[in-house]
Every structure is written in structure tokens, then in C-alpha cells.
């Protein structure tokens, strides 16, 4: 069994940087654009909503993971607007978010995943989103998880962060992540956006297996109001 060791919680994980900024998508001026970036390509796994009305960011990220066989370098997330039920324009907007993030970080667009959460049925204000991506890319920091966690919130009352350091086989490693979600909670990827990073050396296939097993007993087994997500 992994041995948990004591260390100050600093919300840092080797090889990852985070940012959260306000771009004006939310009328109250709260943070609404977040980026996670890795120093290099990393094994990546994801589970998505099974809603047949999956939003554009879900479709774009699914395709990217299939194309790259479970590898990525960045995730761009916005809150305040779900970019769901927005037709072909929504698909183009999601791909623009990917393109602008890739350009800002100097990486290939196929290495970028995208997620959105918020109001359904409205186009993203892309001028604000693109400006926010530029600011977020310049704000990336190893200790920026709290800002990222705030930037993905919608109706949540506060940020939700988990952080664990363990020792396995004499090697210390970190697992940490954050999530959002307070309503539209139903099985088949309960309506949340959740992001977990680790500096453990694990391949994409093993990561997918572990994530699927964890999801079956958690996100796919809880319900609050019976509404299944379009975006998560």
C-alpha cells in the first residue's frame, strides 16, 4: 500500500503550471478562464458525459485524445458559458480556443484539450475569451492551482481542491486536482468538470483503466437533481 508522508500542502506538482484570470465572460468580474500546462507531453486520460447532446468542447477534446493516443500538454477551460447547443459556430469557437492556447504556449494544437461550463445556448464572446487566453498563458505558475480552481466555478460556493503526496517503492509522487459542480448532478459523468494531475510515471493505458474504475464508483454513481450534463 502507498505510504502517505507528511509535507506542507503547497498545491504544486512537478512538471505542471496553472493559471486563472478574469476575461469578462462572467458579468460579476470573477475568474473565468483557466489553463493547465505541462512542461512536456504527458499521458492523458478522460471520461466524458454520455449525453447525446454533448457540447462542442466535449466533442473537440474526445477527438484530440483519440488522435494523440492519450497524450496532451495543456487544457484550456472557461466558465460562465457552456458553448453547448451552439451548432457549427460553437464547434468553431471551441477549436479557436484550442488554436489560441496552442499559439500562446508555443505547442501543437493537437496537444490541447478544451472544456467549457456555464450558460447553455449562447455563443462565447470570443474576443474576451481570446484576450483571457493570452493573459492566462502569461500568468502560468507552479503554485497557480487555486486560481485555476476558482476560474472553473459556476454556481459553486467555493473552490474544491484535493492534494495527496505518497511514497511508492521509495519514490515520492504527488496527485492533486480540483473540481466544480453544484447542480445538474446525474450519473454518466455527473455534471462536473474535474482535473487531476500527477508526476507519477504512468502510461496512458494504465491511466485510462484507473480512471474508468474510479469513475464507476464515484461520478457515475451519484445523483442530485437528475439532469445529465452536456459538457463534462
Which tens digits make up the pLDDT trace of 169-197?
Answer: 888 999 999 998 766 555 565 567 999 99
* Residues of the chain with confidence (pLDDT) below 70: 1-10, 182-191, 224-232
* CA distance linking residue 71 with residue 149, whole number of Å: 22
- Choosing from 44, 86, 191, 230, the catalytic residue is 191
For residue 49, give the nearest of 224, 217, 215, 165 by alpha carbon. Answer: 215
Query: Is 174 assigned a catalytic role?
Result: no
CA distance readout (Å), 196 to 22, 36, 125, 139: 22, 10, 28, 20
- pLDDT 10s digits, 110-123: 999 999 999 999 99
pLDDT at 184: 57
Specify the DSSP element, H or E, that contains 105.
helix 87-105
| Strands laid side by side in the 112-119 sheet | 16-21, 33-43, 71-81, 112-119
Amino acid at each position: 500500500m502507498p505510504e502517505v508522508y507528511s509535507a506542507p500542502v503547497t498545491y504544486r506538482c512537478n512538471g505542471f503550471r496553472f493559471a486563472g484570470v478574469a476575461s469578462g465572460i462572467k458579468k460579476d468580474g470573477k475568474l473565468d478562464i483557466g489553463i493547465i500546462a505541462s512542461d512536456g507531453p504527458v499521458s492523458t486520460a478522460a471520461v466524458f458525459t454520455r449525453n447525446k447532446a454533448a457540447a462542442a468542447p466535449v466533442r473537440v477534446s474526445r477527438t484530440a485524445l483519440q488522435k494523440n493516443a492519450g497524450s496532451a500538454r495543456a487544457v484550456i477551460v472557461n466558465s460562465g458559458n457552456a458553448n453547448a447547443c451552439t451548432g457549427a459556430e460553437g464547434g468553431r469557437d471551441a477549436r479557436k480556443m484550442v488554436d489560441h492556447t496552442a499559439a500562446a504556449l508555443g505547442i501543437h494544437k493537437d496537444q490541447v484539450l478544451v472544456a467549457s461550463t456555464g450558460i447553455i445556448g449562447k455563443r462565447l464572446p470570443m474576443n474576451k475569451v481570446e484576450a483571457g487566453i493570452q493573459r492566462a498563458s502569461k500568468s502560468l505558475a507552479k503554485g497557480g492551482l487555486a486560481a485555476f480552481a476558482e476560474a472553473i466555478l459556476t454556481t459553486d460556493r467555493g473552490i474544491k481542491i484535493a492534494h495527496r503526496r505518497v511514497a511508492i517503492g521509495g519514490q515520492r509522487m504527488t496527485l492533486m486536482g480540483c473540481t466544480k459542480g453544484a447542480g445538474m448532478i446525474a450519473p454518466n459523468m455527473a455534471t462536473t468538470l474535474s482535473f487531476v494531475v500527477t508526476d507519477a510515471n504512468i502510461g496512458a493505458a494504465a491511466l485510462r483503466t484507473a480512471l474508468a474504475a474510479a469513475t464507476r464508483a464515484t461520478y457515475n454513481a451519484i445523483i442530485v437533481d437528475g439532469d445529465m450534463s452536456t459538457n463534462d
